[in-house]
Structure 1
Amino acid sequence: MRLKDQVALITGSTSGLGEAIAKRFAHEGAKVIIVGRNQERGEAVAATIRGQGGDPMFVSADVTSEQNVKTMVDKVINRFGTIDIVVNNAGLVLPGSVIEMTLEQWNKVFQMNVTSTYLVSHHAIPLLLKQKRGSIINISSEAGLKGLKNRSAYCAAKAAIVGLTKAMAVDHSSKGIRINCICPGTIKTPMIQEIIENHEDPDGIEKEFLNRRLTPELGTPGEIAEAALYFALPENRYVTGAILSVDGGALAK
């Protein structure tokens, strides 16, 4: 077990990528904190991990609220005494060009993607500094590295996460904290599956997703979980400030 007794806090982990990361880390012996707003889904993920011999904790929290984040961190410290790994995975995508996006929608996308990453890091990093070790993994997107049609706010927010990752790495890597970023392409999560199924042209939208890549299939949550595990492993001490694209070759195309 390569993460035995490491305490890993994962936001947006009641489904999709976050759920896969939580389960993968737990399989490697980590004590995982599942964070999300849907209590039913969160408790279900925790129950699955517990049934496999893990020691999870579910915390219902809105990670765009500083008070919620403070309370969340306090609960984790009361239960486990520390935090070793943070995965900032909470996110939101709303469609629209800058003409179509309302200010309310724009702010909502930035709050869920960027502000949440800032707030969780802001309150977790002092704990990691005390230990002089730790790993923070920010989840961006291929949208943070290239332009996508009708995704103005999302592209801008995910690009901000890439820049924030690099700045955090410069500030804190010399003190033993590694900060890295994963940029997934389109991944077959329940959300993406729902988008495909509810689209007026399901075959067309799936083909559009695939046409951006070099691979014949979309990615899976498990592949992103493996990338996160690489960044989380303590022995990968030389890896910080890295931006890893797991996108089926979309950036190379």
Structure 2
Amino acid sequence: MTGEFAGLTAIVTGGASGIGRATALELLARGARVAVLDLDPSGLDEGIAGYTADVTDRASVQEAVGAVAADLGGIDVVVNNAGVGATGTVSDNTDDEWHLVLDVNVVGMARVVSAALPWLRRSEHASVVNTSSIAALNGLPNRALYSASKGAVLSLTLAMATDHVREGIRVNCVCPGTADTPWVGRLLAQADDPAAERVALQARQPIGRLVTPEEVANAILYLASPRSGSTTGTVLDVDGGVTHLRVRP
């Protein structure tokens, strides 16, 4: 194997589709041994190992992470990408929905990193990259619960980066804009006018189109790479300019 990740083992949660799948494929292309943790890891691309895991279940996570380390020779990179969405204002989601989304999107990341820490501490190139969102930094309509969870991911990233920097473990996160993924496709399908909704989402991003999963994957790999050894506690926007650009119509 050749590439900057040669000899390293990477875990990607939620790696069966969308941004996670693009990340797993790019890690593989750059030399990593790649394991995907997913509720349904069937149908993965050739060369990628699949492990069934539910990030809301600590025992499930620990078993899967331990199996990856045993099968692939340790753990060097963790990409926390598993997540679920939610729409609505603060009065639209039930308590059960709040508990589920925060459990998956926030506590799930903590469970995965906690399980991987014994191996990350032994790695010379230990890195964690979390998937946050533009919703962490921008007030989006009808995304109260989702925004709260992704804001927590950003804060969790900075806290973990501080806690583990002296152990040689780098922790960063990406904040993607609206990406052209199956999840966004399902949201569009639920709209009264899916075509008009897609146009509106594209127009919201100054570049005039949706972000691609591959663009987010490349940002994740930049942060995870051994070549980025001085980059930790960084929040990297991959958002088509939403957060900082104010272009005139």
Q: How far apart are residue 27 of structure 1 and its match?
A: 0.5
| Corresponding position of 1:160 | 152
Q: Within 1, Cα distance between the matches of 2:61 and 2:183? A: 25
Partner of 2:89: helix, strand, or coil?
coil
CA distance in 2, matches of 1:243, 1:148: 19
Q: Distance in 2 between matches of 1:193 and 1:225?
A: 18
* Distance across 1 between alignment mates of 2:80 and 2:92: 28
Structure 2 matches for 1:94-113, cutoff 5 A? 94-113=86-105
In structure 2, give the amino acid aligned to 1:99.
Answer: S
Which residue does the alignment assign to 2:13?
11
Structure 2 unaligned residues grouped into runs of 5+ = none
Q: Deviation at 1:63?
A: 0.9
Q: Matches of residues 237-252 of structure 1 in structure 2 within 5 Å?
A: 237-252=229-244
Q: C-alpha offsets along residues 119-154 of structure 1, whole Å, 9 cap, x if unaligned?
A: 001111232113354000000000111121111110
Mapped contact 1:9–1:87 kept (Cα < 8 A): yes
1:26-55 superposed Cα distances (whole Å, 9 cap, x missing partner): 0011110011112xxx2322xx233xxxxx
Structure 1 distance, partners of 2:135, 2:203, is 15
Match of 1:143 in 2: 135
8 Å Cα contact 1:7/1:31 also seen in 2: yes
Cα deviation digits, residues 213-244 of structure 1 (max 9, x gap): 11021110000110011011102111000000
Residue 178 (structure 1) shift: 0.7
Contact kept? 1:33, 1:57, Cα under 8 Å: yes
CA contact (8 A) 2:203 2:209 kept: no
Which residue pairs with 2:26 in the alignment? 24
Q: Aligned partner of 1:43: which letter?
A: S
Contact 1:133 1:175 in 2 (8 A): no
> How many Å separate the matches in 2 of 1:190 and 1:160?
24
SS in 2 for 1:211: helix
Q: Distance in 1 between matches of 2:130 and 2:7?
A: 21
Give the Cα separation in 1 of the matches to 2:9 and 2:235.
23
Query: Helix, strand or coil for the counterpart of 1:34?
Result: strand
CA distance in structure 2 between the partners assigned to 1:103 and 1:95 by the alignment: 14
Q: Per the alignment, do residues 57 and 127 of structure 1 end up closer, same or farther by CA in structure 2, a change over 3 Å counting?
A: same
User: Aligned runs of 1:1-253 on 2, under 5 Å?
Assistant: 1-38=3-40, 42-45=41-44, 48-50=45-47, 56-131=48-123, 133-252=125-244, 253=246
Rounded to whole Å, the distance in 1 between the matches of 2:225 and 2:56 is: 28
Q: Distance in 2 between matches of 1:241 and 1:148?
A: 24
SS in 2 for 1:58: strand
- The amino acid of 1:144's aligned partner reads A
- Alpha-carbon RMSD across the aligned residues, in angstroms, is 1.2
User: Residues 205 and 239 of structure 2 are in contact (CA less than 8 Å); yes or no, is this contact kept in structure 1?
Assistant: yes
Runs of 4 or more above 3 Å deviation: none
Mapped to 1, the partners of 2:165 and 2:216 lie a distance apart of 23
Q: How many pairs were matched up? A: 243
Classify the secondary structure of the residue corresponding to 1:235. Answer: helix
Structure 1 residue 207: Cα displacement: 2.2
Query: How far apart are residue 249 of structure 1 and its match?
Result: 0.4
Q: Aligned letter for 2:91?
A: I
Report if aligned partners of 2:172, 2:223 keep a CA contact under 8 Å in 1: yes
- Following the alignment from structure 1 to structure 2, what is the Cα–Cα distance between the partners of residues 167 and 3? 26
Q: Tell me the TM-score normalized by structure 1.
A: 0.93
What's the TM-score once normalised by structure 2's chain length? Answer: 0.94
